[in-house]
Structure 1
Amino acid sequence: MSLKVLETLGFIKKNILTTSEVAELLGVTRQRINAIVKTKDLVPFKKTGETSLFLLDDVINYKENKRSGPRTSIASMAPELFDRSGSTYDSIDFFRENRHKLGQIVHAYAFFNPIDAAIHNFYVPSQHFKRGVFLNIETPHLVLVDTEGNEMWISGCNCGYGGTGPHGSQTVLQECGFPQKEIDNIFRYRVVKLFKDPDGNVDVHVANSDYDGGTFDEGTTSIYFRNDNLVLMHKPSRWSKEKNEIKTAERYQSFIPNPVRFEIYPTYEQAKEMGYVLPGLDGSDFSREEVYRVIIKDSSGRELWLNPHIHTQTPILAQADLRSLLELCGFDVPEESANKGWLSSWLSTNIRRFQPNPVIISKRKEVKIKI
């Protein structure tokens, strides 16, 4: 293969995006991308049949202009066809009543856990359920996508067990023309993705969820929408002797696949002042205010909030939890005894010395594109 061809292939891999990749980069659905294209706010440089290709620079420019421009209405994030009933039978009726509004169904996504749906960018913030500045999110359990990228979101049909919800998904997928052999995965896995090519062949991707929760002692995990981004926060159990924040970060790595910023707040007051606090629910004995002192930010804008044990009189390098979290996030943490320049010296400083400022460790953002 000639050098020129190799250079061309390298340029394509680094600079050309499909609709799905653009949706992932912007944190929206494919249908939202199609709507943006129709308004000509983002124009594909090439469109062939059902395939649109975009230049990475155009997408980044759109993203930056969107940040500096007026905010998009939250309501516009939801597709037109969104069944919110939560009932399997009502969801099937909704599908049948609105099936004619979609073309040929070529993609289907089924989720058991709402967080998995949100990670795949199938979510919309809900103005009806708030905790301070935090909005709950609405997610579908079954998503159907036609050849034009139009979507139908269904709430009452899911996957991952042998009950009514997965049987509802089976009914819908059968009526969409997917083969029964592939549909059977609906009863075995918590995440099922079906992709039909132009020849009618179906590619199946299945997984079990990282977000089904651990034991009672490990606490609970919640997801909210805040400042235009998703925030996943772990609330340790008040009955547990350990905070299990390392297990939480390991389990939820798919939520922050490319961490670029790690913030440590020496005191609860500092974290609260910066807004890293989830208000309690009025009148609830089990919902108290939660303050988070470790914030991990991903290049996608998502944030994971944790509250491990932090000793302000001890250097970061000497604190096992903080070291493990940094290493898990891909930061090159030197050994405590090593002398490797300013980073080693900096991390060997007692956290108290940074007060009143937080400890912030950043690395250059990288855009990861799936080819």
Structure 2
Amino acid sequence: MIFSVQRDVSKDPLTLSQVAELLEIPRQQILKTKLPLIDEPRFYYGDVMSLREEITTKDSDPLIDEHLGSGCTQYGLEFFQANRKRLGKIRMIAIYHDSINAAVDGYFVPHKGFVSGVGTPHLVLKDFEGKEIWLDGLLCGYGGEGPRGSYSLLKECGFSDEVARVVEYAPIVKVLQDEDGNVDVITRSGIETGNDQNKGIYLTDSGVLHSKSRKPEDIDRFLPHPKEAEVHIGEGERFKTLLIRDESGREMWIEASKIIADCDIEWHPLSIKQAKKTLISELNRFGFELDKGQKQTLFDIIDTKLSVKSLSRPEKLFDWMDAIIEKRKRQ
């Protein structure tokens, strides 16, 4: 690493639904109760607020379905019925069509049975004491066996038919309940895996959740609140990597080919200039706005690390590119 920058995520705007998910409290309770984490709920367009403190990661010791990874609805229901009495009154049920979104929400464990190394449930139950059960094979977002299993579980937990049927219509469903029995249902989209079962999301050797996805919508869902950016440049080598990290430790690497087209030549002044421009654009895209001094520091380091040396490319290509640069200078 040769350069790093941080940003304050504690004032990132959040929708009312996002706050409800983070605090696992029905939206109607948030609106009528002054909560210590909420800084005088500030509304923009009627539905946005910010948390005073940084978003925290989940810390639990869940009871995990022994068949996690099987995708079997019947196994999931049987495990729930065998262990239901271990939970008290249900506070939250989270259901995922693509289980990798459970990992993005913090529900994952290292698991050799998954290609990604990330063991994820399709359904999570949590009671008011914080105890959790993770189940597989109970899904949402379509009409089929998995959502029918989720519907059956919600009914067994005492939720109404109207609430239970929501599982057919959204790829992520969160059912929230307060102590008084008031129920709220939040639905949203998530990362769609398609044929890529883990969407390039995996665990590093150090246990950090990492993503290789390059789709803007996936990036926003994987790292909605980026906190730290690191620039990595190898000694005398090409521009290597931009690393983005959030407060929970999740990481995303923007590879060299994302910053500038890969090629088998040493650095040229025009390439260095383009790398700087694209790098600043990428940092801005993640909310890292460098001041004038920070930009100059970064650019000075890049100029030093990527100093132009004798070019190893063919001489004709060298002459051709220089001719283009000279022509642009004269324009």
Give the TM-score, by structure 1 length: 0.57
Instruction: Name the Cα RMSD after superposition.
Output: 3.7
Shift of the 184–137 alpha-carbon distance from structure 1 to 2, 3 Å rule, reads same
| Structure 2 counterparts to residues 284-323 of structure 1, below 5 A | 293-307=241-255, 308-310=258-260, 312-313=267-268, 314-315=271-272, 321-323=278-280
Between stretches 110-119 and 317-326, larger displacement belongs to 317-326
| Structure 2 counterparts to residues 98-177 of structure 1, below 5 A | 98-127=83-112, 136-177=117-158
Q: Which amino acid aligns with 1:259?
A: K
User: Are the equivalent residues in 2 in contact too, given 1:230–1:301 (CA < 8 A)?
Assistant: yes
Question: What is the aligned residue count?
Answer: 250
Shift of the 126–355 alpha-carbon distance from structure 1 to 2, 3 Å rule, reads farther
- 1:353 CA drift (Å): 2.9
Give the TM-score, by structure 2 length: 0.64
User: Are the equivalent residues in 2 in contact too, given 1:136–1:223 (CA < 8 A)?
Assistant: no
Q: Does residue 28 in structure 1 map to residue 58 in structure 2? A: yes
Match of 2:207 among 188, 205, 228: 228
User: Are the equivalent residues in 1 in contact too, given 2:176–2:185 (CA < 8 A)?
Assistant: yes
- 1:146 CA drift (Å): 1.8
User: Are the equivalent residues in 2 in contact too, given 1:106–1:145 (CA < 8 A)?
Assistant: yes
- 1:126 CA drift (Å): 1.6
Shift of the 11–180 alpha-carbon distance from structure 1 to 2, 3 Å rule, reads closer
Render the CA deviation track for 1:93-147: whole Å, top value 9, x for unaligned. 22112222222222100011222101221111124568xxxx7110100111122
* SS of equivalent to 1:200: coil
| Structure 2 counterparts to residues 53-92 of structure 1, below 5 A | 78-79=62-63, 83-84=67-68, 85-92=70-77
* SS of equivalent to 1:199: coil
Match of 1:261 among 229, 235, 254: 229
- 1:195 CA drift (Å): 0.8
Instruction: Work out the CA distance in 2 between the residues paired with 1:86 and 1:300.
Output: 28
Unaligned runs of 5+ in 1: 1-8, 15-20, 33-77, 235-244, 272-291, 334-339, 357-371
User: Are the equivalent residues in 1 in contact too, given 2:276–2:299 (CA < 8 A)?
Assistant: no
> 2:324 is matched with which residue?
none
| Structure 2 counterparts to residues 198-213 of structure 1, below 5 A | 198-209=179-190, 211-213=191-193
More strand by share: 1
Instruction: Work out the CA distance in 2 between the residues paired with 1:117 and 1:180.
Output: 24
- 1:28 CA drift (Å): 3.2
Instruction: Work out the CA distance in 1 between the residues paired with 2:113 and 2:105.
Output: 23
* SS of equivalent to 1:252: helix
Instruction: Work out the CA distance in 1 between the residues paired with 2:81 and 2:103.
Output: 25
Shift of the 344–94 alpha-carbon distance from structure 1 to 2, 3 Å rule, reads closer
Q: Which amino acid aligns with 2:153?
A: V
- 1:332 CA drift (Å): 1.6
Shift of the 171–10 alpha-carbon distance from structure 1 to 2, 3 Å rule, reads closer
User: Are the equivalent residues in 2 in contact too, given 1:316–1:322 (CA < 8 A)?
Assistant: no
- 1:320 CA drift (Å): 5.6
- 1:250 CA drift (Å): 4.6
| Structure 2 counterparts to residues 360-371 of structure 1, below 5 A | none
Instruction: Work out the CA distance in 1 between the residues paired with 2:147 and 2:216.
Output: 29
> 1:329 is matched with which residue?
286
Q: Does residue 251 in structure 1 map to residue 251 in structure 2? A: no
Instruction: Work out the CA distance in 2 between the residues paired with 1:214 and 1:96.
Output: 31
Instruction: Work out the CA distance in 2 between the residues paired with 1:10 and 1:159.
Output: 31
Point out the structure with max Rg over C-alpha: 2
Instruction: Work out the CA distance in 1 between the residues paired with 2:54 and 2:132.
Output: 13
Instruction: Work out the CA distance in 2 between the residues paired with 1:322 and 1:110.
Output: 37
Q: Does residue 179 in structure 1 map to residue 163 in structure 2? A: no
Instruction: Work out the CA distance in 2 between the residues paired with 1:121 and 1:24.
Output: 12
- 1:159 CA drift (Å): 0.8
Instruction: Work out the CA distance in 2 between the residues paired with 1:10 and 1:233.
Output: 37
Q: Which amino acid aligns with 1:323?
A: I
Runs of at least 4 residues off by over 6 Å: 9-12, 267-271
* SS of equivalent to 1:189: coil
Q: Which amino acid aligns with 1:345?
A: Q
Shift of the 153–318 alpha-carbon distance from structure 1 to 2, 3 Å rule, reads closer
* SS of equivalent to 1:171: helix
Instruction: Work out the CA distance in 1 between the residues paired with 2:84 and 2:200.
Output: 33
User: Are the equivalent residues in 1 in contact too, given 2:95–2:124 (CA < 8 A)?
Assistant: yes
- 1:328 CA drift (Å): 1.1
Instruction: Work out the CA distance in 2 between the residues paired with 1:345 and 1:171.
Output: 60
Render the CA deviation track for 1:177-234: whole Å, top value 9, x for unaligned. 111212222111111111111222201111011x104899xxx831122213211123
* SS of equivalent to 2:244: strand
